[in-house]
Amino acid sequence: MRINGKVYFDPWVGDNYESGIKGDKILVIGLQHWCDPKYWNCDKDPHKCLDERDSTCTVWNAECYRPKDSDKNLDENAQKPSGWEHLGEKNDMMPNCPILEKCNKRNECNGTKDNTPRLRYLHCETKISVYNHINNQERAQRASIFGAVLTALGELYFDFKNNKKKCWNSIAFTNFIQHYTKIDSENPNRININKELTIKELSEKDTEALQHHIRNLKPKVIIVLKINKITSFIKGKYRDKYVECKDISIMTPMGGTFTFTVFALKESYLYKKIKQDWKTFVDNYVIENLQVDMDAEDLKITKTEIARKIQALAVFIKEQKGDKGKQFVNDRDNILKNENTHESIRRIFYLDKKQNCSMFKDLLGKPKVKHLLDKEIERIRVAYEGKAKEEEKES
């Protein structure tokens, strides 16, 4: 893909993307493609390869490194073709690009004199990576992110673990960084992501590509790795269009964690599902916890405990709305005005038709009292997540 003369990674777009999942067109945004020049005995700068060596990379391009007829008599110490992960050790030629048969740009990939398409362009790596994952031919490093995407979609929609082809053929996928990141031997994490995200001459490409994909693919749902630069850009650029719905953390088999942030259009199936889910949960919580008659003679709960439940529920509601503010008056008002809240509770927490905020301030005071509030907030979160998982099993 080229924009203004620059080369970008083509996104993976599944054959059934337009139909999507539950009618939602979904764009998933990962982070990077990386390169280790030392491993390939290459003296090139990975940051420049996509723009300068798209069709001449000696790792991807069979024409560049397969033996020529004139080289067949080279001594045994001569460098042999290294090849990509699917090139067998005894082969002397890279196989065709694995997505060749289904690629709508195959006529552009004639890399040999007899017009047998053998070029594997660098800009195709995203598409090839997903294709390899679907066909169980991927590298272990890639398996973790793709597996996390599958699990996240399972939590949001339904379980795809037994049919990952259906899942990936229903979504689009791209990486945010639009250059090869460089292995840094001095960095314990191997790659300095903050540095890679702030390279002045390259970072513009990242946001240009993302805007291009959103404009052309028109997703109803965007699921993105939770990295501040990416999520902040989406919230800033598309704040009037996409609503930040929730975060999902996925544990990998190796013990790592991927956290995704979900953005959705209000007309999407997912937005309506999430909104309905938590609103129904709030109503049920109010029924179970705030239908207490505070005038009853055998009352077994205190005003402070009721205040704690209201405040904890207000925090939960703010989280579900993606509201980062610290004012809870409106959320508490909505709870107190909920038709399921007992009238006696409303009388206690209103003075002259205004909310008695002083009854909630004490909850945020001493550590011991604050601990009790945090405990109730966590209890609500756990109950909500448990309810969501039960509904997934039923569906």
Residue 281 has which token pair?
């949960």
Beta bridge partners of 173: 12, 28
Model-level pTM?
0.70
pLDDT digits over 281-297, tens only? 999 899 999 999 999 98
With tokens 């990077």, the residue in question is: 32
Residue 90 has which token pair?
């005894």
Cβ-proximal residues to 210 (8 Å cutoff; 6+ apart), any chain: 29, 174, 176, 230, 233, 234
For residue 395, the tally of other CB atoms under 10 A from its CB is: 8
pLDDT of residue 18: 96
Contact 123, 10 (CB under 8 A): yes
Q: Is pLDDT above 70 for 108?
A: no
pLDDT of residue 320: 83
Helix (H, G, I), strand (E, B), or coil: what is residue 360? Answer: helix
What is the mean pLDDT of the segment spanning 114-123? 66
Q: Read off the pLDDT band of 379 (50, 70, 90).
A: very high
- Of 206, 234, 222, the closest CA to residue 264 belongs to 222
Q: Read off the pLDDT band of 27 (50, 70, 90).
A: very high
What is the mean pLDDT of the segment spanning 267-282? 88
Contact 82, 57 (CB under 8 A): no
For residue 142, the tally of other CB atoms under 10 A from its CB is: 15
pLDDT digits over 77-95, tens only? 433 433 343 344 444 444 5
Which amino acid is located at 92 in the chain? D
Which amino acid is located at 229 in the chain? K
Residue 375 has which token pair?
């405990």
pLDDT of residue 110: 52
The whole-angstrom separation of Cα 335 and Cα 314 is: 8
What ranges make up the beta strands (E) of the chain? 2-3, 6-7, 12-13, 26-30, 33-35, 171-175, 180-182, 221-225, 243-251, 257-264, 350-351, 354-355
Helix (H, G, I), strand (E, B), or coil: what is residue 357? Answer: coil
pLDDT digits over 294-346, tens only? 999 889 899 999 999 999 999 999 888 777 777 899 999 999 999 999 999 99
Q: Is pLDDT above 90 for 276?
A: no
The whole-angstrom separation of Cα 142 and Cα 365 is: 47
Q: Is pLDDT above 90 for 175?
A: yes
Which amino acid is located at 334 in the chain? N
Instruction: Please report, rounded to a whole number, the percentage of residues in the chain having pLDDT higher than 70.
Output: 79
Q: Which of 26-35, 179-188, 262-271 is predicted least confidently?
A: 179-188
With tokens 């049919």, the residue in question is: 163
Q: What DSSP designation does 298 have? A: T
Contact 293, 342 (CB under 8 A): yes
Contact 194, 35 (CB under 8 A): no
